[in-house]
Structure 1
Amino acid sequence: MTEKLPEAIDLSHHLSRVSRARTTSPLKGLQKYFGKEGMISLAGGLPHPDYFPFSTISAEALPYDSYVSAMSNQSRGSFSWLWSFLSGGKKETVPITIPKYPANSGDISLSTALQYSMAAGIPQLQRIMKEFTDKVYKPAYSNYATIVHTGNTDGWVKASMTLCNPGEGVLVSEWTYPSALSTIIPLGLKPVPVAMDYQGMKSDSLRIVLSSWDETTCGMPRPHVMYTVPIGQNPTGATMEAVRKKEIYDICVEYDIIIVEDDPYYFLQEGPYDLPALRNKKPFKVDEDDELFISHLAPSYLKFDYQGRVIRLDTFSKTIAPGCRMGWFTCNPLFAERFERQAETTTQAPCGFSQSIVTSLLLNWRYEGYLRWLKGLRVQYTERRNFFIDCLAEEFHLQRTLDTQGVWAGCEVYHASQKHRAEKQATNEKRAEIGNAVFSFVPPTSGMFVWLKLQLDGHPFFNTVGYKELEMKLWTEIAEAGVLFGPGFMFSSNQRPDEGGSGHFRISFSNAEFGDMKKAVSIFATVLEKFFEHV
């Protein structure tokens, strides 16, 4: 017998003044009568659907099994980009057609999808979101709600405005997503950084921040909202596992914190990276059934949320396409109702074209098909991650060590040194000493980015100009050579965390062609060599 789950507790004291002041939009409030049988509506300014200049919308979609769903253990070396191109997926497509007036009343209709509609989204999409959340995230309370938003950035805007008043702080990781900071700062909110390690935000550091908070010294009340990207942590690519999430959730219960879980990379959990020689020795990983696949993913905070204090942000941006501008909240019904009131007078529902096409695709694929698509995406991005780091291994000497202190304590760190210098100093293909490293990194276990830590203290001008100027100087030289990285300063939530004068780059392996990634790493190596030779 299934254990009965509790309902969400009352968290209304977390609502901002603006959110409390929102009422149902007068015009949107009339829509509850629109579906009443025999109702003749003369109240709303709705265009007649006959005048929509689209009789049908058609699309050719890829099948859900277009990409392999299990990793091969074979290394493809320098030409893996060519292999990926030649085996990228099946060519056949699945036709999708959405009529203005369907024969069956329950089918998606352009006359409805392209009309002014409720901010909660079209009914078919609402059912898809609910089924997916039930089966994958398994919230620990019974009366949770799902409601659409127009992408996770919009979701964070709505959440921050719903929960926070000007002059308050928001708990964030010391390195975090820049747009999240750009959202809250104009609202009069202040980022409150929490130290990180290889899993992301540290639970012990969070407790220290909260337990030692002094309102007079800090100049604001203790924060009651936390923003986090726990999977594919942006920018570090860290994966926060279940034990850490449970620790942080328990602290948030103790200190009455709302967790906003921004999780666009959830299904891009790539696992540990191995160099090609080690990768080839591992047994071939067979495909997993759906339940096993889900069980091997680091769980959402929702799995531990028995009080309704997690607001989860899901998006189709990384799994379907960013331009569809669609995603959804999973949260307690109090917050969902407030988000709906906000959407009624701001974004309303996502674009009707996007809703109708994406929903039709998911109805065609069904839950099992969408999960199969997600398995394929995980393999594709794992191949990309592996290929990019393999390129680094070709251009640099990579030496692995187990760090015992600092942000990366407890995990294997790759230290990269210039090949030409290593070859001058070493014989019999021995690796260069770590002291000669020009950058280091921990291979990401999820997401789309590699986070490089630049060893700028080895530069001749380090003591003269400092690491901040050197980071930007190197970034500029790489950009002028034709390669664009994300400069580290963009991702700092506390002006710059002190890591011994190190600079940082966030490098994406998600979009460029494989041949271009290889070329970019070669350019990076050339520029870096000249950079450290400056006198």
Structure 2
Amino acid sequence: MVSNNVSRQSPAVCSLQGVEVKEGLAFLTSVRGPCVARRRHRDPAPYRDRKDPKPEIGQEPLLPADKRKSPCNSSTAKTNARAPYDTLGTARSSAASNWPFLLPHSYETPTILCLSSAILPFLPLFTVAAPQPPFLDTIYPNTNPRDTPHNRQNMTPPPPAAIEVIPSAAPASNGGVTDGPMRLEDIYSRRKKTDKSQWGTAAPSRSENFKAYSHSHKPKAKKWDSKFSIESLSRTPARLKGAAVYLARPGIISLGGGLPSSEYFPFEELSFRAPGPGHFDDVTAAAWDTLSVGKHDMAAGKSNYDIATAYNYHQGSGSAQLLRWITEHTELVHNPPYADWAVTQTVGSTSALDMSLRMLTEPGDYVVSDEYAFSTAMDTAAPLRVKFAGVKMDAEGMLPADLDAVLSNWDPAARSGARKPHVLYLVPTGQNPTGATASAGRRREIYAVAQKHDLLILEDEPYYFLQMDPYTGADAPPAPPPKSHEEFLAAVVPSLLSMDVDGRVLRFDSFSKVIAPGSRVGWITASEQLIERYSKHADVSTQGPSGMSQLMLFKMLDEHWGHPGYIDWLIHIRKEYTQRRNIIVDACERHLPHEIVSWNPPMAGMFHWLQVDWRKHPHASTKSITEIEEEIFLAAVDKGALVIRGSWFYAEPDAKHENMFFRASFAAAPSDKIQEGIRRFGEAVRESFQLQA
């Protein structure tokens, strides 16, 4: 960062060849690669007295710790307590020893700023944390699993402090960039600049290339080196995947990769029917359009995606074509308040959760969650020997004060020596199983506790767009639809991602609940550092979602509906699930004994959470809560109704539980069967409690 009040001097003289010097500043453009200045200078002096081992071929020599220098001698310079590789690098050339080079660690550095020592005292220079380049992690000492302390059970916790809601960070200067709200027209004007070299077979892509706005004026995410597992830190780039960067070169003949020739794919054309945008309420055949894609549509100039590309190998991030749409959607809806956020595709949220837990936890760790948590999440964690620590809930979900209490009072001795958790798992909207939805205020309070205890947040949000108006009765008229797309987006509860000033949220999104679960396509939004670690795992495991699914979603979402059409679809599907919610709540009003069963109508999602007052059971004094729960469950099954036992969702099954719940879904059964299913469940409850019909 250079001050505007730099003292005007005559141009300095710099003997570096090819460097243009103006007003004491020199610029050398278009330099690629990690830490180029330090790598390419030819003065051997900094390394002459090295005692550390000689670097291997292809590895950048690193200065010994006692010879590393801060970027400048200005009194305004701030040193970074982190490893020196996360700060601006410094090197000196024998040809111009009074010209220190300041070069941030980044994959592509368009400019090297060369400053004359004559003007250095006038510049308020400081070191800043820079995003780690995707291929430098293997040479960073602080990411070597042998050098990184992972037994952090005895680390001193931060001093207790009052919970304080931290407001979103405001940029010091926006440089003329409008920070929102994002507009649909911004997306399509930005698309004209898209680099289509990423469209090819197995081509690597980055979500950064598809953002409509510049985010450089926003703060950078925190660094999370200490949170990674040994497994994650041990991951290195997939060598063959790295060769794909050269496929974008015009005219290159690839004899390198083992990519099958699309000539032998036994698919010439794919066709399917989808509803036309704006006709989602029309069930007639005329409302459905046939979408087709050929094997070589890209070569023919008919489309940006085709069978030859989609059905071949992909990078772990998925195709650039669909990644562009997902990145635009994320920016439109959430607009994360920090600069270096990134997106990568996933094979659904369950796979994303599994890989995230492996990335962030060690065997014996605990993850903090709601006291009633998604059972599949716990089943995913169990083979990793990771347990869940439950936090009390109310109608809005997790209680922030209880979350703070659990973490502040964490006792490793009472948890088999487990260290204090650093991962929080949440389903904030239409929580599974309770159906609870956290308000914007509740989410800010939870985020503040996460900041206090330095938690990473796994924000699992498959039901985010199934937010509903309050239940007002079975006969109440439906709420009017939103007047515009902007009104719809403004009405949804803000996500934790939209509040994330630190880059501590890993948000899981999915098409499973709003398009089709069999597509197995989702995505994670998080800081570039977290996405980089995740992607190294994906490149050698899931390798991205199905190409067939990506192709069909691209044709429908990008080419057929567009972003406005997808929002119309979300408005439509929200209305449909609201009607189903109303049906099941009305059925409960009609068929369940109110003196035994109680509930709060859900405000989002697919689940209705029913509390049963088991203490009124005639055998409450002789039977346990678990025995009575099982009795009701089996009686309902015998009558032809399947509801799920609440005990299956205990975050801590061995803890004492005083309340009984059942989960009923209003998503799966046809609307006309929901009433009958609840009636049968009501019969089972009455028989168990020996009540008259």
Question: Shorter-chain TM-score category?
Answer: 0.7 to 0.9
Aligned residue for 1:51? 264
Aligned residue for 2:554? 359
Q: 2:368 aligns with which of 147, 164, 171?
A: 171
Aligned residue for 2:682? 525
Aligned residue for 1:376? 572
Kindly indicate whether the alpha-carbon contact (under 8 Å) linking 1:460 and 1:534 is maintained by their aligned counterparts in 2.
no
Kindly indicate whether the alpha-carbon contact (under 8 Å) linking 1:66 and 1:89 is maintained by their aligned counterparts in 2.
no
Note closer, same or farther for the CA distance 1:252–1:13 as it changes in structure 2 (3 Å cut): same
Give the match's secondary structure for 1:462: coil
Aligned residue for 1:399? none
Aligned residue for 1:467? 625
Kindly indicate whether the alpha-carbon contact (under 8 Å) linking 1:162 and 1:338 is maintained by their aligned counterparts in 2.
yes
Residue 157 in 1 paired to residue 314 in 2? no
Residue 511 in 1 paired to residue 668 in 2? yes
Which moves more between the two structures, 261-270 or 35-44?
A: 35-44
Residue 339 in 1 paired to residue 553 in 2? no
Q: 1:484 aligns with which of 635, 642, 665?
A: 642
Which moves more between the two structures, 176-185 or 22-31?
A: 22-31
Aligned residue for 1:100? 295
Note closer, same or farther for the CA distance 1:452–1:155 as it changes in structure 2 (3 Å cut): same
Aligned residue for 1:243? 441
Q: Deviations over 1:484-529 (max 9, x none)?
A: 11111111101166563x3211000012112211211221222222
Aligned residue for 1:191? 388
Kindly indicate whether the alpha-carbon contact (under 8 Å) linking 1:67 and 1:90 is maintained by their aligned counterparts in 2.
no
Give the match's secondary structure for 2:248: coil
Aligned residue for 1:21? 234
Q: Deviations over 1:397-454 (max 9, x none)?
A: xxxxxxxxxxxxxxxxxxx43xxxxxxxxxxxxxxxxxxx111111111000001111
Letter in 1 for 2:555: S
Give the match's secondary structure for 2:624: helix
- Alpha-carbon distance, 1:386 to partner: 0.1
Letter in 2 for 1:317: S
Q: Deviations over 1:20-60 (max 9, x none)?
A: 11111122122112222222222222211010000011110
Kindly indicate whether the alpha-carbon contact (under 8 Å) linking 2:635 and 2:684 is maintained by their aligned counterparts in 1.
yes
Larger radius of gyration: 2
Equivalent-residue separation in structure 1 for 2:614 and 2:413 (angstroms):
38
- Alpha-carbon distance, 1:319 to partner: 1.0
Identity percentage of aligned residues: 34
Give the match's secondary structure for 2:291: strand
Kindly indicate whether the alpha-carbon contact (under 8 Å) linking 2:591 and 2:678 is maintained by their aligned counterparts in 1.
yes
Q: Deviations over 1:238-271 (max 9, x none)?
A: 1111111111112111211000000000000013
Aligned residue for 1:33? 246
Kindly indicate whether the alpha-carbon contact (under 8 Å) linking 2:646 and 2:663 is maintained by their aligned counterparts in 1.
yes
Aligned residue for 2:586? 390
Letter in 1 for 2:597: F
Kindly indicate whether the alpha-carbon contact (under 8 Å) linking 1:261 and 1:312 is maintained by their aligned counterparts in 2.
yes
Equivalent-residue separation in structure 1 for 2:315 and 2:678 (angstroms):
48
Aligned residue for 1:407? none
Letter in 2 for 1:372: D
**Pairs within 5 Å for 1:432-447:** 437-447=595-605
Q: Deviations over 1:156-206 (max 9, x none)?
A: 011111111111110111001000001112101121111111111111011
Letter in 2 for 1:116: Y
**Alignment gaps of 5+ in structure 1:** 69-86, 397-415, 418-436
**Pairs within 5 Å for 1:395-410:** 395-396=591-592
Letter in 2 for 1:511: A
Kindly indicate whether the alpha-carbon contact (under 8 Å) linking 2:481 and 2:571 is maintained by their aligned counterparts in 1.
no
Equivalent-residue separation in structure 2 for 1:97 and 1:66 (angstroms):
19
Letter in 2 for 1:14: K
Question: Which has the higher relative contact order, 1 or 2, with Cα contacts under 8 A spaced 6 or more apart?
Answer: 1
Aligned residue for 1:8? 221
TM-score (normalised: structure 2): 0.66
Equivalent-residue separation in structure 1 for 2:576 and 2:302 (angstroms):
39
Q: 1:449 aligns with which of 607, 615, 623?
A: 607
Q: 1:301 aligns with which of 467, 472, 496?
A: 496
Note closer, same or farther for the CA distance 1:533–1:285 as it changes in structure 2 (3 Å cut): same
**Pairs within 5 Å for 1:201-280:** 201-218=398-415, 219-276=417-474, 279-280=476-477
Residue 112 in 1 paired to residue 317 in 2? no
Q: Deviations over 1:248-300 (max 9, x none)?
A: 112111211000000000000013212235x35x8x52433111111111111
Equivalent-residue separation in structure 1 for 2:474 and 2:676 (angstroms):
19
Kindly indicate whether the alpha-carbon contact (under 8 Å) linking 1:15 and 1:162 is maintained by their aligned counterparts in 2.
yes
Aligned residue for 2:198? none
Give the match's secondary structure for 1:172: strand
**Alignment gaps of 5+ in structure 2:** 1-175, 180-216
- Alpha-carbon distance, 1:217 to partner: 3.7
Residue 325 in 1 paired to residue 538 in 2? no
Kindly indicate whether the alpha-carbon contact (under 8 Å) linking 2:395 and 2:436 is maintained by their aligned counterparts in 1.
yes
Note closer, same or farther for the CA distance 1:131–1:110 as it changes in structure 2 (3 Å cut): same
Q: 2:508 aligns with which of 313, 316, 341?
A: 313
Equivalent-residue separation in structure 2 for 1:201 and 1:339 (angstroms):
27
Letter in 1 for 2:529: L
Equivalent-residue separation in structure 2 for 1:209 and 1:332 (angstroms):
27
Give the match's secondary structure for 1:463: coil
Equivalent-residue separation in structure 1 for 2:244 and 2:430 (angstroms):
40
Aligned residue for 1:291? 486
Equivalent-residue separation in structure 2 for 1:88 and 1:444 (angstroms):
28
Letter in 2 for 1:519: E
- Alpha carbon RMSD of aligned pairs, Å? 1.8
Letter in 1 for 2:333: V
- Alpha-carbon distance, 1:304 to partner: 0.9
Kindly indicate whether the alpha-carbon contact (under 8 Å) linking 1:229 and 1:261 is maintained by their aligned counterparts in 2.
yes
Number of aligned residue pairs: give it. Answer: 475
Equivalent-residue separation in structure 2 for 1:151 and 1:274 (angstroms):
34
Please identify runs of 4+ aligned residues in structure 1 that moved more than 4 A.
Answer: 87-91, 496-499
- Which structure's residues are more often helix, by fraction? 1
TM-score (normalised: structure 1): 0.86
Note closer, same or farther for the CA distance 1:294–1:95 as it changes in structure 2 (3 Å cut): same
Note closer, same or farther for the CA distance 1:139–1:455 as it changes in structure 2 (3 Å cut): same
